[in-house]
């Protein structure tokens, strides 16, 4: 009987020593926390800017953003995108200026072992704009709710994400022939404007930058 008790005691002691600490188990099961990142979305400028130039117009937009992690699966995504276009309208030069601001929370659904993975990003987007020529001027604004779906890659110090999405909301003083103030930058500035519902497709399909 004593031998049996001794064997049981030795087995229990060995099991206790082999059992990992709760904190260690928790840390190993958690996905790695993504690093903060600063990025740009250059695809718009690399494609539409040369096309506009071939048509005798100027079109510039360079979105700049930052990812700020708050946990292993959530991070704030803030984006700032200045817009500028210049063309000829009504026998005079017209210029348009805009400043897009967006804020959202990216939720990682399927994470990988490097702090990246598939994510959903609901966001709030605002855009004030100013347009006009020698004979007339106009200001407009829009506020939209959007959703982006993407996949984030962390390649050491390199941040890379592929994103698709869109948004819809309300616009004020939007050109009648445009679906939104964003798309109005692709058109010849229009004098006839109205308040209406607007929608946009995310044309900035690639985000590239640096992890910190």
C-alpha distances in Å from residue 141, one per residue of 88, 93, 130, 170: 22, 22, 9, 9
Domains of the chain: 32-211 (2.40.160)
Report helix, strand and coil shares of the chain as percent, to nearest 5.
Answer: 20, 55, 25
Checking phi first, is residue 171 left (phi over 0); if not, alpha (psi -120 to 50) or beta?
Answer: beta
What is the residue-level pLDDT of the chain in tens, covering all 212 positions?
555 444 445 444 554 454 444 444 444 445 677 889 999 999 988 888 888 888 888 999 999 999 999 998 999 999 999 999 988 776 566 889 999 999 999 999 988 777 689 999 999 999 999 988 777 788 999 999 999 999 999 888 999 999 999 999 999 999 998 999 999 888 777 778 999 999 999 988 999 999 99
């Amino acid at each position: 009987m004593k031998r049996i008790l001794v064997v049981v005691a030795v087995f229990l002691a060995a099991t206790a020593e082999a059992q990992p600490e709760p904190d260690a188990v928790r840390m190993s099961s958690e996905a790695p926390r993504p690093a903060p990142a600063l990025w740009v979305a250059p695809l718009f400028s690399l494609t539409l800017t040369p096309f506009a130039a071939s048509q005798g117009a100027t079109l510039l937009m360079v979105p700049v953003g930052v990812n700020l992690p708050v946990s292993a699966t959530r991070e704030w995504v803030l984006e700032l995108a200045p817009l500028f276009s210049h063309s000829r309208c009504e026998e005079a030069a017209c210029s348009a200026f805009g400043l897009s601001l967006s804020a959202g929370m990216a939720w990682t659904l399927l994470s990988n072992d490097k702090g990246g993975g598939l994510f959903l990003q609901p966001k709030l987007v605002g855009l004030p704009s100013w347009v006009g020529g020698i004979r007339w001027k106009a200001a407009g604004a829009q506020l939209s709710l959007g959703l982006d779906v993407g996949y984030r890659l962390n390649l050491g110090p390199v941040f890379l994400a592929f994103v698709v999405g869109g948004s819809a909301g309300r616009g004020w003083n939007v050109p009648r022939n445009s679906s939104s103030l964003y798309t109005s930058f692709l058109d010849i500035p229009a004098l006839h404007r109205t308040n209406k519902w607007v929608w946009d497709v995310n044309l900035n399909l690639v985000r590239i930058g640096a992890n910190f």
